[in-house]
Amino acid sequence: MAEISLELLKQILHYNPDTGIWTNLVKRSAKTRIGSVAGSLDKDGYIIIIIKGKHYRSGRLAWFYMTGDWPARKVDHKDTNPANDKWDNLRLATNSQNGANRRVQTNNFIGVKGVYFNSRCRLRPYVAGIGIRGKQRYLGSFSTVEEASEAYQRAAYQIFGEFARA
């Protein structure tokens, strides 16, 4: 539940759904000017806007601003850019759907989502797996990275549909 009202939000900030940019409608602190861009990037790349001492991710504020409802689930960025808060780039997602839309993790040495290398299996060392509701599902062992990646992609599209990202 939002700790601010929609009325207050619209009195102090303006959201442009075409650009995803927030602007200040009032002077909210010594550092802000009327008409200036609101928010700043956090360490994870999300735009954070402070209202009455509370930190809000701007994508969640955008959902509230546009629909009048505080988002009950995660607000997912379709293009995986957490600073792109254009309205057509935002959608509600479960934790699993949000995770399915993530890019390859930086600690993935193979560079292919859903695939890891198992050196103990010489004939089929590439293992594919997918996370569903916090549990890892084994998809098989394969001779090549490409085969393992295809298995992951098939499963991801079957399970997550539009949220699947290879």
2-24: pLDDT as tens digits: 579 999 999 999 999 999 999 99
The β-bridge partners of 154 are: none
Lookup: tokens for 23: 């602007």
Sheet harboring 135-142: ordered strands across? 115-117, 126-132, 135-142
Q: Which of 75, 92, 109 lies at the terminal end of a domain, its last residue?
A: 92
How large is the average pLDDT for residues 97-116? 77
Last residue of a domain, one of 92, 108, 141: 92
Beta bridge partners of 77: 90
In a domain, 1, yes or no: no
Asked whether residue 76 falls in the same domain as residue 20, the answer is yes
pTM over 0.75: no
Structure tokens at 162: 């539009």
- 116 touches 127 (CB < 8 A): yes
Whichever domain contains 42, its CATH number is 3.90.75.20
